[in-house]
Amino acid sequence: MRAVVQRVTRASVTVDGEVVGRLDRPGLVALVGVTPGDGPAQVELVARKIADLRILRDEQSVLDAGAPVLVVSQFTLYADTRKGRRPTWNAAAPGPVAEPLVDAVVAALRGRGIEVATGVFGADMAVELVNDGPVTILLESVPEPA
């Protein structure tokens, strides 16, 4: 599982002209990609890191600051660009595998008392954000052995 985490002052996700997720105050945007070998251990690691990373102002975590998180599924985090000009996403998990795991990350964050907004899995989303700093962190977890 991969997550690109950005510290933001505000963010939103729009689908078909309707805002479906929004942060109106400082927090984090987490773009989350899943690979077929991912499971509960990767969900827990990524959720814990998102909650505990001390990357907000004054070296606070989301938990310390009571800050919100916007989680957006992003299979393109597993793009393979080594050959040619057209990326492949063979390493990305298919929707039926990925969607429950992205939902599990959201549930794990909410289980920690964090306010979480989301995009819509599989939708054509317009993500708008103001990166604060800028601060952008790549989190990677190792998939479970097959």
Is 9 a catalytic site residue? Answer: no
Active site residue 74: yes
Q: Report how far residue 102's alpha carbon sits from residue 46's, in angstroms, rounded to the nearest whole number.
A: 10
Catalytic hit among 6, 14, 42, 75: 75
Which residue among the candidates 6, 42, 74, 118 is catalytic per the annotation? 74
Class of residue 8 by CB neighbours under 10 A (exposed 0-12, middle 13-18, buried 19+): buried
- Annotated catalytic, 75? yes
Report the relative pairing of strands 116-118 and 69-73 from DSSP bridges: parallel
Would you please indicate which residues are annotated as catalytic (active-site) residues? 74-76
